[in-house]
Structure 1
Amino acid sequence: MTTRGTMVIVGAGLAGASAAEALRAEGFAGRIVLIGEEPELPYDRPPLSKGYLSGETPRAQVHLQDSAFYADHDIELLTGTRITDLDRNGGQLVVDTGERLGFDRLLLATGAVPRRLPVPGGDLAGVHYLRTLADADALRQDLRPGGHLVVVGAGWIGAEIAASARQQGMEVTVLDPAPVPLARVLGPEVGEFYRRLHAGHGVQLLMRTGVEAFRGTGRVQEVLTSDGRRIDAHAVVVGIGVQPRTELAERAGLIVDDGVVVDELLRTGDPRIFAAGDIARARHSFYDQHVRVEHWATARDQGVAAARGMLGRGASYDALPYFFSDQYDTGMEYRGRATRWDRVVFRGDPDSREFLAFWLQDGRVLAGMNVNVWNAGDDVEALLRSRAQVDPDRLADPRVPLAEVSPPPLPTGGGANKTGVLSGPLKFVRQFLRDRFTVADATPADELAVGEGRVLDVAGEKVAVYKDPAGNLHGLSPVCTHARCLVQWSAADTAWNCPCHGARFSPTGQVLRGPAKKDLAPRPLPAIDRHDTSTP
């Protein structure tokens, strides 16, 4: 294992920050330099189109860690810093100031940028793209109750922004050439569910409609559509996808093909250089091909995976693609990868807004989505990994357990592991996720140390218990209010963290970071342990 030297990470988003944290957590004692172009602490992007955009999530809660964390862990965080070149022969990066920074191992985690819509008027004030905190701040200024927002693109970003703006009292019109929202990923059947969801909340959906131009004097005032309509607009958001930021890798002569091409250990052709997150087109042993995924969970997990690879502890990365979305009162999780399919099966009634959907090809499940159903994730993943043919009627029947819609998977023999989250003996990404589900223990609550939190067994029930500096005990529900995963105590953060989507709660249960919006519920403790956790 590499324990000394200099590890440099270019890109201070989720992938880069996760890698820096993981390097220290894995015992690396050398120099870590984390470089970001934005003048911000590393932050979470999902809230930008959700809670932060609506004003429900304060700015401080968007940050992954506070500044003290990086100082305490001896991570050199260089914000507002741009890398202009990568000198592979010299093992150095060139900073925009002209300074050179040497590295022993390098992680490229430069993320992606929004695709621009090349139409007249695209540079008018009031035409927004959403990728950064600065973008979100600018857009928030234009989201005013009673105003009219036009959203160009009915993908995930466009749909979430439309929901957020509608909930803030704006009139919203969505334009997209596709027949239904989210058609590229979900197809017509599930896309129709989202069409009805948005229409039911008063969004005007102009599907099969493109944009010819934005018009206005100095600022956008109307949108001219491909069918000749003129739509008044106080503001416009364009969300038509992103493209990976591969310029640095290209200039350095690394292989780039729809992202930086890396192997299953996230290594480029240069064994000193790794890539993770939106820019990484990684060899995926489960799919037996290179795959690039632009989602939160992949950025987080690949950051950890790349850190281990940089330390010489790499294991084959084959975590299934996963993402989530919250729109209005409807939350969902999607697992797997379906680029083409011949059938969609619903399990439950979409009109109830509690159902599962599955994408099949030749009788095998390629992807699964749970909507407002939070106890099916492991079963969906097991079904995907089994590669077994299923009976569509049994799959659609909620009375049949998902474990019984197909026979058990056959042994794979040698070669790549097809049933674990990761190939290789450590299966570390599954450990990384599962180890963070805190298991209750039988320690009496009054034996906790001051400032300590644990999920304890209290009279046969799991309770998150924290002892504050005054020695008072606080009892909380350990169930995250977003998707009902169990939280765990983090001594480093002095907080309860959720392993599923990254929500964070204060020691006494208040939301510190989304996507959770509600505090952890107070739970009574036995008389000897009781302390009132309610707030006036």
Structure 2
Amino acid sequence: MSVGRVVIVGASVGGSRVATGLREAGYTGSIALVDPDPDAPYDRPPLSKQVLAGAWTPDRVSLGDPGQWGAERYVAAAESLDPASRVLRLDSGEELSYDRLVLACGAAPRSLPGMPRRGVHTLRTLADSLELRDRMEGIGSGQLVVVGGGFVGAEVASTAHARGIGVTLVEALPAPLSGLLGEEVAAELALLHTDNGVRLLCDTAVAGLVGEPEVTGVRLTDGTTLPAAVVVVGIGVRPGTDWLAGSGIPLAEDGGVLCDEYCAVDPGRTVYAIGDVARCRDPLLDRHVRVEHWTDAVEQADIAVRNILGPVPTAHRHELFVWSDQYGGKIALIGRPEPGDRVSVVRAGGPRRRFAVAYHRGPLLCAALTVNWPKALPAARRSLGAPDGAADVVAAWKVLSSQLAVMALSARGDSPARSDQRRG
């Protein structure tokens, strides 16, 4: 297939991966990369951790120089699209024609009433992270309120706590991430916050912000006001599709660009959608799914490259993998938990909370969560989707747990036999 100019809207990991992937595959045509963020392209996961902590400088998160990929870089926002004429219009007044268009335009953080306000932050861009880092320097051990206990909110709370800042985490759900993990598992995971001295308020809604022009507190719906020198709002994101209204691009009512399992938006495969903005069809679930995580953006970018250049389309495999670094440990989720899944939990000993959770439908392992237990993850990968995967992974985890117990006894100069003798 002969492909002319490729225009990519969005220069985060998905968009930049398409650009580099095209070049690595031998594409020699024109590439245009459009994004209003002057710092892009860079990697987002470190923004709430290493960059916010001051451990990494901005150059550590750079994904490279578009000039080195032979890509034209437009620091502008996409304003409108005419798919019939294959023309993208920018807010700078420029018009870009294309043969293939990749929508990797991401999402924008949701806000609270009364925003923007000095001292109230969202965390989406490198500039956001650096601004919040500077603000945290100024409050010392003063109070930080994080609204929203998802992965970003939890990582901000963890990073701030490590810097000696008092943190209150406010979550509207019964436990952070209970919508994804289920209430039982989420309640156990929530103990990571309280174990580390972070104040956690669940089933708690925010009524508004206090203080003008600078925030001084967060008012809850029960009438309580939490004092706050800094507020971080992490209550989810909204796909960046407003500019596509009226273009004819199919948009989901609940957010995102509708595309098929090949990440293609139209039957002619001239427009693709990837990353946070894409709501791709999952043939196994028989519905469109939108995933807001790094690995999915990378995988979809690779699929888009193959399908732009290749004559036979390749389908995207919806294998969700999410990780999060919190309080010096690591949380990993593979697969997609669904309401009604049965849950099996295996706990392991050690100085910190460490466990693994199998989500299964009958004998089928559908998803697995590991908390501070990296060695439990490979067994989950092997068993995911296998006919008897649930029983297999639980058995493997129990063996690992027993091995950890033996190692702990050995480290104390003890042995299982001696321990049994003392109990007798």
TM-score range, shorter chain: 0.7 to 0.9
Question: How do 1:140-151 and structure 2 match up within 5 A?
Answer: 140-144=133-137, 145-151=140-146
The Cα of 1:397 is off from its aligned counterpart by 5.2
SS of residue paired to 1:142: helix
Distance 1:131 1:350, change over 3 A: farther
Verify the 8 A CA contact 1:394 1:400 in the aligned structure 2: no
Equivalent in the alignment of 1:309:
307
- CA deviation after TM superposition for structure 1 residue 251, in Å: 2.9
**In the alignment, what sits opposite 1:77?**
73
For residue 398 of structure 1, give the secondary structure of its aligned residue in structure 2: helix
Shift of 1:281: 0.9
Q: Residue 107 of structure 1 contacts residue 275 of structure 1 at CA under 8 Å; is this kept in 2?
A: yes
- Secondary structure at the counterpart of residue 182 of structure 2: helix
Normalized per residue, which structure has more helix?
A: 2
> What whole-Å deviation, never above 9, does each CA across 1:397-453 have from its counterpart, x for those lacking one?
52289xxxxxxxxxxxxxxxxxxxxxxxxxxxxxxxxxxxxxxxxxxxxxxxxxxxx
| Counterpart residue number, 2:272 | 274
Which consecutive unaligned segments of at least 5 residues does structure 1 have? 402-536
Query: Counterpart of 2:188 in 1: which secondary structure?
Result: helix
Alignment of 1:176-325 (within 5 A): 176-257=171-252, 258-270=255-267, 271-313=269-311, 314-325=313-324
Using a 3 Å threshold, how does the CA distance of structure 1 residues 14 and 393 change in structure 2: closer, same or farther? Answer: closer
Partner amino acid, structure 2, of 1:8? V
| Secondary structure, counterpart of 1:33 in structure 2 | strand
Deviation readout 1:170-226 (Å, 9 max, x if unpaired): 110111122222211122232223322111211111112111121113100011111
**C-alpha displacement of 1:353:** 3.2
Q: Which has the higher contact order (CA 8 A, sep 6+)?
A: 2
Q: Residues 114 and 239 of structure 1 are in contact (CA less than 8 Å); yes or no, is this contact kept in structure 2?
A: yes
Asked whether the equivalents of residues 345 and 396 of structure 1 are also in contact (C-alpha less than 8 Å), the reply is: no
For the 8 Å contact 2:76–2:91, the answer to whether it is kept is yes
Partner of 1:355: 355
Q: Secondary structure at the match of 2:385?
A: helix
CA separation of 1:32 and 1:396: change in aligned 2, threshold 3 A: same
Q: Aligned runs of 1:150-161 on 2, under 5 Å? A: 150-161=145-156
How far apart, CA to CA, are the structure 2 residues paired with 1:5 and 1:307?
13
SS at the partner of 1:338?
A: coil
> Does structure 2 retain, via aligned residues, the 8 Å contact 1:347–1:395?
no
Contact 2:355–2:370 (CA<8 Å) still a contact in 1? yes
Q: CA deviation at 1:27?
A: 0.7
Q: Is the contact between residue 152 and residue 158 of structure 1 (CA under 8 Å) also seen in structure 2?
A: yes
State the 4+ residue runs in structure 1 displaced beyond 6 angstroms. Answer: none
SS at structure 1 position matched to 2:191:
helix
Deviations 1:295-316 (A, max 9, x none): 0101111111111111135311
- Relative distance call for 1:142 and 1:272 in structure 2 (3 A) is same
Task: Let me know the Cα RMSD of the aligned residues.
Answer: 2.1
Asked if residue 334 in structure 1 is aligned to residue 329 in structure 2, the reply is no
Structure 2 vs 1, CA of residues 400 and 364 (structure 1 numbering), >3 Å: closer, same or farther?
farther
Question: What is the rounded CA distance, in whole Å, between the counterparts of 1:343 and 1:400 in structure 2?
Answer: 22
- Residue 110 of structure 2 corresponds to residue 115 of structure 1: yes
1:102, CA displacement in angstroms? 0.8
Letter in 1 for 2:251: V
Structure 2 Cα separation of the partners of residues 177 and 94 of structure 1: 39
Tell me, yes or no, if structure 1 residue 125 matches structure 2 residue 155: no
Is the CA contact 1:347–1:396 (under 8 Å) kept in the aligned structure 2?
no
Is the Cα contact below 8 Å between 1:278 and 1:293 reproduced in 2?
A: yes
Contact kept, 8 Å, 2:11 with 2:41, in 1: the verdict is: yes
Q: Which residue of 2 aligns with 1:374?
A: 374
Q: Which residue of 1 aligns with 2:409?
A: none
CA displacement 1:273-312 (0-9 Å, x = unmatched): 0010011111223434321111010111111111111113
1:162 counterpart = 2:157: yes
Identity of aligned residues (%): 37
- TM-superposed deviation, 1:272: 0.5
| 8 Å contact from structure 2 (residues 337, 367) kept in 1 | yes
Distance 1:117 1:109, change over 3 A: same
TM-score by length of 1: 0.70
The whole-number CA distance in structure 2 between the counterparts of 1:100 and 1:393 is: 54
State the secondary structure of the residue aligned to 1:143. helix
- Following the alignment from structure 1 to structure 2, what is the Cα–Cα distance between the partners of residues 192 and 96? 46
Displacement of 1:350 after TM fit? 7.2
- Superposed, which structure 2 residues align to 1:16-27 within 5 Å? 16-27=15-26
Distance (Å, rounded) in 2 between the aligned partners of 1:198 and 1:330? 12
Measure, in 2, the Cα distance between the counterparts of 1:278 and 1:299.
7
- Partner residue, 1:8: 7
Alpha-carbon distance change, 26 to 375 in structure 1, aligned in 2, over 3 angstroms: farther
